[in-house]
């Protein structure tokens, strides 16, 4: 009898140990509940705005903020060069959606034109320079957003 | 050998095997696969990226009490070249904090110690704070910071605006949110023209006005009748202030075309649509006037135009200096124009009051905490607020009433759905229904998620200086109050955001120009429609305000002498710099041509003081933090030439 007790207790201990090693999978809570809501609030934002949380990463979102603040008055919300102030300018602001142009220019050139203005790259001085207002990272963020402009649809 | 020895031998071997299992399990964990595949991934990568050593990695921040093993799988966090690599190898975007120093869960939440995907990221039964979705990450900034600009936390700031707009603080405690003006209900019986309007309004306010701020309380048919009877019985105004009697000639003249025309002229001259809208067109500060004549009585409209602050205590509407005749004419104009033509005259009949409406009315009034927004001077009204939200983000999940919902339990999902369908969680919930857009729900949730107790140590907190309230006393205080200046203007960031800050206006503008502007206000920028309403201020008041501006709203740093030149050839040089070198004309109109972004600079010498022009060009952001006028870094010589050129742009 004693032997059997010993064996049982040893195996019992082993079993407890083994079970302890296994983590228990929880039940998915959604299977147990009933009421469904009339509208699930998802990541998608309604209205005409783009879903910036899905399409843009952090630096592009920062770039979008800066672009919307500083650039859209002339270059337009979508960067098509049709901002409300573009009608007063001659030559017209650059269309940043123009894939021929935007694929041709390098990041270095874009950086130069934003930081030193149009006159910095021998173009119209109507584009002001932002090197005293924006820091290097901010300009990089704007460039990364400009690169994304043509993929954004409304 | 005895049997017992064999048994001991077998069991000890089994035991050893069992012990060996647990380290073996550790070998086959997912994170090892991730580290191995990262190393093979970097081989195919065009740039050279350092390989990682196999092993568990963690960030330990003693002060914050954080041990984060996220970097065990997210191995490429600090490798800038991996910004487009697939997860979990993507690099962290450039932010202002070093993740090695701060850890991950301090912002992202989630279970830092775990190395299993599900446990670390997703909401689980035993972990209250799952990983915050990307859009809500900005609410984590407020664990240390207390005030951040739109650049960093756009959603949170929008949520705050919305919470202010919808006056959430009347039912929920939230720190730092001011209460909005809501109409006093004393004397509502003399304001509302017919009871049917009140019944319709109580049923669903957004049917009357699409942008109504009052939510839908989903009252039952009987509740609506009782409440409207109850409210309609209040004919007395506060402090027994009665409505102004209409002048005697009003009744004979009110259909007269010339009289109505006078009203229309005064209405547009005072620029009522700066604040009020008419069918959605116009200002957003006050109610839409389109059907107002079918809602409010003539006498009330007349009194409101004459002295709004007396009959609506605390209202932000300015007290215009209209004469009695003008006020009556405007009333006649409103009565002729802003009528709800769809109202069926037959429907308007005197509905008999329900018996015992008074006691039942008080009960309903208290149940839905109407007193939180609308004041009513009877002593039976009790405060009956909803739960306080000051530390909503600290709430444990078991403290929330989930009802019969099918949510994956996490706080942000609860908040989103509570805002969408407030009555879905439990049968006794009282929260009314707001028709929020999804965008707005996201914004409000982002704000609420930031409401929590400070858990971080003192030395981590970044606190901004609080905006000092500007509350002048005496005559000036009364004048500011009378014309509600701080509804649109601000003084050192305290006040409205619509019009410019006044804190330095004495050093900025010329006295003569301000005097003229009070008389004939106009919109400075061609593109901006809003302009100051004509307030019909008396000359004495104008002079008093100007004296006050010149003695108090002054920046001493702007009190210096400038060596401005008057030589024509130098002015010509300034013009060249202005137009050719710095391209100012792309935003400003001068000599009849230029852009619409900044204010026109023709006659700018009449408007601005030279030291202001000089200092503004030198550093625009110093005087208006969010202006888009780029700082040019001009040298001293150019600066003086352009200032001289602009200063001589005047007619005298």
Residue matched to tokens 């983000």: B393
CB atoms A73 and B587 under 8 Å: yes
* Dihedral in degrees, nearest 10, Cα atoms B44, B46, B49, B52: -10
CB atoms A74 and B583 under 8 Å: no
B351 pLDDT band (50/70/90 cuts)?
low
Q: Give mean pLDDT, residues B557-562.
A: 87
Instruction: Report the residue of chain B nearest A33, measured CA to CA.
Output: B406
CB atoms B633 and A126 under 8 Å: no
Contact B537, B321 (CB under 8 A): yes
Closest CB from A29, A39, A118 relative to B408:
A29
pLDDT, tens digit, 9 for 90 and up, residues B449-494: 999 887 788 888 888 888 888 888 999 999 998 898 998 899 988 8
A contact residues 72-131, partner B, Cβ 8 Å cutoff: 73-74, 84-85, 88-89, 117-119, 124-131
Q: Is any Cβ of chain A less than 8 angstroms from the Cβ of B638?
A: no
pLDDT value at residue A40: 35
Closest CB from B125, B406, B633 relative to A35:
B406
Min CA distance, B58 vs chain A (Å)? 22
pLDDT value at residue B426: 78
Portion of chain B with pLDDT greater than 70, in percent: 97
List B278's β-bridge partners, or say none.
Answer: B281
Chain B residues inside the 8 Å CB shell of A126: 583, 585-586
Give the C-alpha separation, B226 to B368, whole Å. 14
List B490's β-bridge partners, or say none.
Answer: B495, B501
Q: Give mean pLDDT, residues B49-64.
A: 86
Q: Is any Cβ of chain A less than 8 angstroms from the Cβ of B18?
A: yes
B contact residues 501-530, partner A, Cβ 8 Å cutoff: 527
Give the C-alpha separation, B277 to B298, whole Å. 20
Give the C-alpha separation, B571 to B196, whole Å. 70
Give the C-alpha separation, B362 to B365, whole Å. 5
Min CA distance, A18 vs chain B (Å)? 7
Return the biggest CA–CA distance within chain A: 105
pLDDT value at residue A14: 57
Whether the per-residue pLDDT at B569 is higher than 70: the answer is: yes
Chain A residues inside the 8 Å CB shell of B25: 21
CB atoms B424 and A3 under 8 Å: no
Chain B residues inside the 8 Å CB shell of A94: none
CB atoms A7 and B586 under 8 Å: no
pLDDT, tens digit, 9 for 90 and up, residues B69-103: 999 988 888 887 787 788 888 888 888 888 888 88
A17 pLDDT band (50/70/90 cuts)?
low
HSE (CB half, 13 Å, CA atoms) of B48? 0
Instruction: Report the residue of chain B nearest A2, measured CA to CA.
Output: B4
A43 pLDDT band (50/70/90 cuts)?
very low
CA triplet B622, B628, B634: central angle to 5 degrees?
60
Q: Give mean pLDDT, residues B520-533.
A: 78
Closest CB from A6, A34, A41 relative to B404:
A34
Q: Is any Cβ of chain A less than 8 angstroms from the Cβ of B149?
A: no
Portion of chain A with pLDDT greater than 90, in percent: 14
A87 pLDDT band (50/70/90 cuts)?
confident
Whether the per-residue pLDDT at A82 is higher than 80: the answer is: yes
CB atoms B630 and A85 under 8 Å: no
Q: DSSP letter at B594?
A: E
SS3 B68: strand
First-to-last alpha carbon distance for chain A, in angstroms, is 81
pLDDT, tens digit, 9 for 90 and up, residues B311-337: 888 888 888 888 888 899 999 999 888
CB atoms B596 and A45 under 8 Å: no
Closest CB from B133, B421, B595 relative to A88:
B595
CB atoms B632 and A88 under 8 Å: no
Closest CB from B441, B621, B631 relative to A41:
B441
Instruction: Report the residue of chain A nearest B528, measured CA to CA.
Output: A84
Residues in chain A: 154
* Structure token pair of residue B83: 């910004």
Highest mean pLDDT among B118-122, B370-374, B399-403, B445-449: B445-449
List B124's β-bridge partners, or say none.
Answer: B127
- How high is the mean pLDDT of chain B? 86
Phi first, then psi: what are they for B61, rounded to 5°? -110, 105
Contact B516, B527 (CB under 8 A): no
Q: Is any Cβ of chain B less than 8 angstroms from the Cβ of A147?
A: no
Q: Is any Cβ of chain A less than 8 angstroms from the Cβ of B582?
A: yes
pLDDT value at residue A16: 55
Task: Residue B127: count other Cβ atoms within 10 Å of its Cβ.
Answer: 18
Q: Give mean pLDDT, residues B176-190.
A: 87
pLDDT value at residue B620: 92
Closest CB from B438, B621, B628 relative to A41:
B438
pLDDT value at residue A111: 92
CB atoms A37 and B439 under 8 Å: no
B contact residues 116-145, partner A, Cβ 8 Å cutoff: 124-125, 133-135
* Structure token pair of residue B123: 């909401």
Closest CB from B18, B124, B413 relative to A18:
B18
- How high is the mean pLDDT of chain A? 73
Whether the per-residue pLDDT at B225 is higher than 80: the answer is: yes
Mutate to test the interface with B, among A41, A55, A75, A148 (most CBs of B within 10 A): A41
Whether the per-residue pLDDT at A52 is higher than 70: the answer is: yes
Give the C-alpha separation, B567 to B648, whole Å. 11
Give the C-alpha separation, B274 to B487, whole Å. 12
Instruction: Tell me how many helices (H) and strands (E) chain A has.
Output: 7, 0
- Using CA atoms, how far residue A53 sits from A8, A61, A152, B414, B448, in Å, is 59, 8, 12, 20, 19
pLDDT value at residue A39: 35
Portion of chain A with pLDDT greater than 70, in percent: 65
CB atoms B632 and A70 under 8 Å: no
Q: Is any Cβ of chain A less than 8 angstroms from the Cβ of B439?
A: yes
pLDDT value at residue B345: 60
Q: Is any Cβ of chain A less than 8 angstroms from the Cβ of B5?
A: no
Closest CB from A21, A26, A88 relative to B21:
A21
HSE (CB half, 13 Å, CA atoms) of B361? 19
Contact B116, B126 (CB under 8 A): no
pLDDT, tens digit, 9 for 90 and up, residues B19-40: 988 888 878 888 888 888 888 8
Judge if ipTM > 0.90: no
Outline where B450-590 has alpha helix (H): 474-482, 485-488, 505-508, 511-519, 539-551, 568-576
The bridge status of strand B593-594 relative to strand B494-495 is unpaired
Whether the per-residue pLDDT at A128 is higher than 60: the answer is: yes
Q: Is any Cβ of chain A less than 8 angstroms from the Cβ of B86?
A: no
Q: Give mean pLDDT, residues B565-585.
A: 88
SS3 B495: strand
CB atoms B25 and A21 under 8 Å: yes
CB atoms A125 and B580 under 8 Å: yes
Min CA distance, B327 vs chain A (Å)? 39
Chain B residues inside the 8 Å CB shell of A88: 586, 593-596
CB atoms B93 and A59 under 8 Å: yes
Contact B381, B371 (CB under 8 A): yes
- By C-alpha distance, which of B205, B150, B114, B139 is closest to B432? B205
Whether the per-residue pLDDT at B263 is higher than 80: the answer is: yes
Write down all domains in chain A, each with its CATH number in brackets.
40-149 (1.10.760.10)
Whether the per-residue pLDDT at A42 is higher than 80: the answer is: no
Helix (H) or strand (E) holding B163: helix B154-165
Q: Cα A13 to chain center, whole Å? A: 53
Instruction: Report the residue of chain B nearest A88, measured CA to CA.
Output: B595
Portion of chain B with pLDDT greater than 90, in percent: 23
First-to-last alpha carbon distance for chain B, in angstroms, is 124
State the pTM of this model. Answer: 0.83
Check the CA dihedral B517-B523-B529-B530 and report its sign: negative
* Structure token pair of residue B34: 């991730």
Instruction: Report the residue of chain B nearest A53, measured CA to CA.
Output: B135
Q: Is any Cβ of chain A less than 8 angstroms from the Cβ of B405?
A: yes
Closest CB from B409, B438, B583 relative to A29:
B409
Helix (H) or strand (E) holding B494: strand B494-495
pLDDT value at residue B248: 86
Closest CB from B581, B595, B631 relative to A132:
B631
Give the C-alpha separation, B422 to B556, whole Å. 53
Who has greater pLDDT, A51 or B618? B618
Give the C-alpha separation, B89 to A84, whole Å. 42
- Using CA atoms, how far residue B343 sits from B260, B340, B481, in Å, is 23, 6, 38
Whether the per-residue pLDDT at A11 is higher than 60: the answer is: yes
pLDDT value at residue B159: 93
pLDDT, tens digit, 9 for 90 and up, residues B273-315: 888 888 888 888 888 888 888 888 888 899 999 888 888 888 8
Mutate to test the interface with B, among A65, A68, A87, A128 (most CBs of B within 10 A): A128
Residue matched to tokens 């664990």: B143
Q: Is any Cβ of chain A less than 8 angstroms from the Cβ of B114?
A: no
* Structure token pair of residue B446: 């982002």
Q: Give mean pLDDT, residues B543-568.
A: 90
Closest CB from A3, A21, A88 relative to B4:
A3
Phi first, then psi: what are they for B249, rounded to 5°? -75, -10
Q: Give mean pLDDT, residues B422-433.
A: 84
């Amino acid at each position: 009898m004693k032997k059997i007790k010993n064996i049982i207790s040893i195996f019992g201990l082993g079993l407890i140990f083994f079970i302890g090693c296994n983590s228990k999978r929880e039940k998915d809570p959604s299977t147990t509940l009933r009421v469904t809501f009339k509208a699930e609030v998802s990541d998608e934002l309604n209205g005409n705005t783009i879903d910036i949380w899905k399409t843009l990463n952090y630096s592009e979102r920062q770039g979008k903020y800066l672009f919307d603040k500083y650039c859209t008055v002339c270059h337009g919300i979508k960067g098509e060069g049709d901002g409300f102030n573009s009608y007063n300018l001659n030559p017209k602001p650059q269309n940043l959606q123009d894939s021929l142009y935007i694929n041709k220019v390098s990041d270095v050139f874009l950086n130069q034109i934003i930081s030193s203005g149009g006159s910095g790259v021998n173009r119209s001085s109507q584009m002001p320079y932002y090197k005293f207002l924006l820091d290097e990272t901010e300009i990089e963020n704007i460039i990364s957003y400009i690169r994304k402009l043509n993929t954004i649809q409304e | 050998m005895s049997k017992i020895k064999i048994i001991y031998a077998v069991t000890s071997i089994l035991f050893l095997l069992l012990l060996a299992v647990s380290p073996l399990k550790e070998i086959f964990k997912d994170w090892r696969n991730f580290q191995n595949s990262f190393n093979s991934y970097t081989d195919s990568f065009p740039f050279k990226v350092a390989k990682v050593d196999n092993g568990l990695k963690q960030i330990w921040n003693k002060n914050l009490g954080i041990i984060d093993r996220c970097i065990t799988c997210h191995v490429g966090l600090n490798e800038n070249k991996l910004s487009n690599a697939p997860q979990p190898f993507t690099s962290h975007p450039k932010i202002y904090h070093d993740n090695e120093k701060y850890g991950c869960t301090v912002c992202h939440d989630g279970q830092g110690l775990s190395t299993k995907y599900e446990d670390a990221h997703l909401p689980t039964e035993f972990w209250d704070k799952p990983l915050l979705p990307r859009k809500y990450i900005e609410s984590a900034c407020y664990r240390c910071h207390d005030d951040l600009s739109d650049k960093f936390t756009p959603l949170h700031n929008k949520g705050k605006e919305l919470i202010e707009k919808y006056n959430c603080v009347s039912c929920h405690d939230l720190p730092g949110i001011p209460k909005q003006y809501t109409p006093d209900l004393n004397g509502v019986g003399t304001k509302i023209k017919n009871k049917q309007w009140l019944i319709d309004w109580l049923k669903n306010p957004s049917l009357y006005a699409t942008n109504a701020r009052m939510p839908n309380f989903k009252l039952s048919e009987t509740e609506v009748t009782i409440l409207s009877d109850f409210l309609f019985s209040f004919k007395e105004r506060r402090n027994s202030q009665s409505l102004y009697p209409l002048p005697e000639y009003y009744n004979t003249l009110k259909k007269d075309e010339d009289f109505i025309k006078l009203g229309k002229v005064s209405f547009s001259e005072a620029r009522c649509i700066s604040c009020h809208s008419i069918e959605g067109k116009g200002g957003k500060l006050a109610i839409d006037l389109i059907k107002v004549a079918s809602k409010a009585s003539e006498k009330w409209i007349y009194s409101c135009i004459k002295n709004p602050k007396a009959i609506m205590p605390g209202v932000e509407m300015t007290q215009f200096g209209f004469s009695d005749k003008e006020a009556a004419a405007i009333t006649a104009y409103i009565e002729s124009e802003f009528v709800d033509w769809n109202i069926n005259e037959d429907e308007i009949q005197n509905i008999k009051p329900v018996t015992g409406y008074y006691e039942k009315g008080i009960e309903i009034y208290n149940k839905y905490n109407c007193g939180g927004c609308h004041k009513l001077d009877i002593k039976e009204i009790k405060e009956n607020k909803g739960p306080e939200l000051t530390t909503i983000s600290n709430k444990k999940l078991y403290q929330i009433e989930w009802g019969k919902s099918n949510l994956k339990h996490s706080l942000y999902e609860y908040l989103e759905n509570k805002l969408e369908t407030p009555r879905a969680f439990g049968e006794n919930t009282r929260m009314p229904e707001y028709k929020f857009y999804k965008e707005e729900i996201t914004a409000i949730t982002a704000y609420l998620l930031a409401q929590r107790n400070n858990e971080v140590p003192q030395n981590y907190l970044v606190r901004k200086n609080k905006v000092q309230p500007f509350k002048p006393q005496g005559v000036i205080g009364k004048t500011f109050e009378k014309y509600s200046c701080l509804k649109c203007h601000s003084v050192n960031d305290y006040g409205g955001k619509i019009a410019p800050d006044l804190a330095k206006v004495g050093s900025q503008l010329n006295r003569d120009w301000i005097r003229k502007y009070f008389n004939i206000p106009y919109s400075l920028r061609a593109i901006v429609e809003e302009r100051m309403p004509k307030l019909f201020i008396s000359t004495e008041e104008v002079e008093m305000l100007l004296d006050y501006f010149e003695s108090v709203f002054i920046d001493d740093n702007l009190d210096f002498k400038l060596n401005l030149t008057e030589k024509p050839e130098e002015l010509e040089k300034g013009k060249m710099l202005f137009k050719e070198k710095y391209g100012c004309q792309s935003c400003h109109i001068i000599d009849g041509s230029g852009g619409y972004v900044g204010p026109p600079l023709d006659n700018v010498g009449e408007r601005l003081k030279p030291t202001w022009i000089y200092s503004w060009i030198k550093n625009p952001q110093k005087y208006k933090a969010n202006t888009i006028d780029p700082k040019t870094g001009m040298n001293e010589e150019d600066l003086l030439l352009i200032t001289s050129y602009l200063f001589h742009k005047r007619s005298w």
